[in-house]
């Protein structure tokens, strides 16, 4: 009788293990975020241990305005943003507001459509869509009539003269430091202008060096409290306006014949966002 009970117990144990279904699979780590005017694209690391798992089907992406909603082990009750299971390593969440901060998370899905837990290293990324602009700003030459287009207000890409910087709320102007070769130019705060800068907005500037516009999405150093930084073609500059708005600026081209700089920039219209890490 004892042997029969042991055999029955072993059979039940085999049935439980055999009917347990597909394994829940660990989630990958998000490695890149690209913010556009009404969307956010995330990319996560390819992981052969995840994608080579026998029970792996793909990924789901979840978007919430409350990060605590995503910090649950069981993801079955979360509303995924993707219509179908994702089989690549990138996803774009569209139709987002520039006035809202979103928390975005990726989780694995197994062949039984069961969702794994979140990645403990990067549980989610925080992002907000932001307006992007391309603008051409002229060199400031200290010559009457030439400086009409040397300053810019980032919120709406308004170009103005250096003499209008204070009243026009300009955030930056282009200074040609060395004449007549103009081999050095600078992105400068209006306060740096000795003639028109008194009382103008002060910006904080940090030149990260040679990067593409989307290569840097997170900065770990707060922009230093300076009024001007030298810039070269291909540089990526982080700026903080006097009213606490961050701007990411790519120096697309410096034309020393036309005496102008072409920039692409993203203006973060939520004050004091993103939060820079210490």
Q: Give 27-40 pLDDT, tens digit per residue.
A: 999 999 988 889 99
Residues of the chain below pLDDT 70: 1-20, 142-146, 178-183, 199-201, 225, 275-278
Instruction: Please report the domains of the chain, with CATH numbers, ordered by start residue.
Output: 23-127 (2.60.40.10), 132-267 (no CATH)
Per-residue model confidence (pLDDT) at position 11: 38
Q: What confidence tens digit (pLDDT) does each residue in 136-190 have? A: 999 988 665 568 899 999 999 999 999 998 889 999 999 987 655 556 789 998 8
Angle, alpha carbons 66-70-71 (nearest 5°): 110
Of 234, 235, 231, 164, nearest to 201 by C-alpha is: 164
Cis amide bond preceding 274, omega within 30:
yes
d(CA 98, CA 248): 15
d(CA 187, CA 227): 8
């Amino acid at each position: 009788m004892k042997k029969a009970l042991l055999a029955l117990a072993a059979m039940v144990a085999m049935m439980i293990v055999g009917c347990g279904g597909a394994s829940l699979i660990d989630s990958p780590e998000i490695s890149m975020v690209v913010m556009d005017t009404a969307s956010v694209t995330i990319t996560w690391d390819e992981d052969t241990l995840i994608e080579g798992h026998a029970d792996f089907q793909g990924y789901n992406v979840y978007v919430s305005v409350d990060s605590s909603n995503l910090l649950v082990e069981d993801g079955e009750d979360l509303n995924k943003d993707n219509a179908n299971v994702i089989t690549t390593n990138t996803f774009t969440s569209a139709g987002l507001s520039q006035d809202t901060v979103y928390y975005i998370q990726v989780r694995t899905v197994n062949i039984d459509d069961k969702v794994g837990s979140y990645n403990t290293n990067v549980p989610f990324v925080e992002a907000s869509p932001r307006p992007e602009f391309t603008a051409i700003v002229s060199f400031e030459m200290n010559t009457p009539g030439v400086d009409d287009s040397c300053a810019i207000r980032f919120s709406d890409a308004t170009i103005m003269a250096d003499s209008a910087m204070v009243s026009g709320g300009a955030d930056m102007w282009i200074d040609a430091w060395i004449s007549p070769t103009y081999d050095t130019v600078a992105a400068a705060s209006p306060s740096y202008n000795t003639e028109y800068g008194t009382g103008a907005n002060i910006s904080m500037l940090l030149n990260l060096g040679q990067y593409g516009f989307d290569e840097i999405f997170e900065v770990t150093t707060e922009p230093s409290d300076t009024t001007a930084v030298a810039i070269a073609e291909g540089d990526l500059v982080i700026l903080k306006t006097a009213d606490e708005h961050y701007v990411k600026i790519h120096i697309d081209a410096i034309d020393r014949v036309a005496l102008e700089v072409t920039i692409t920039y993203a203006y973060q219209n939520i004050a004091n966002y993103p939060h820079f890490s210490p």
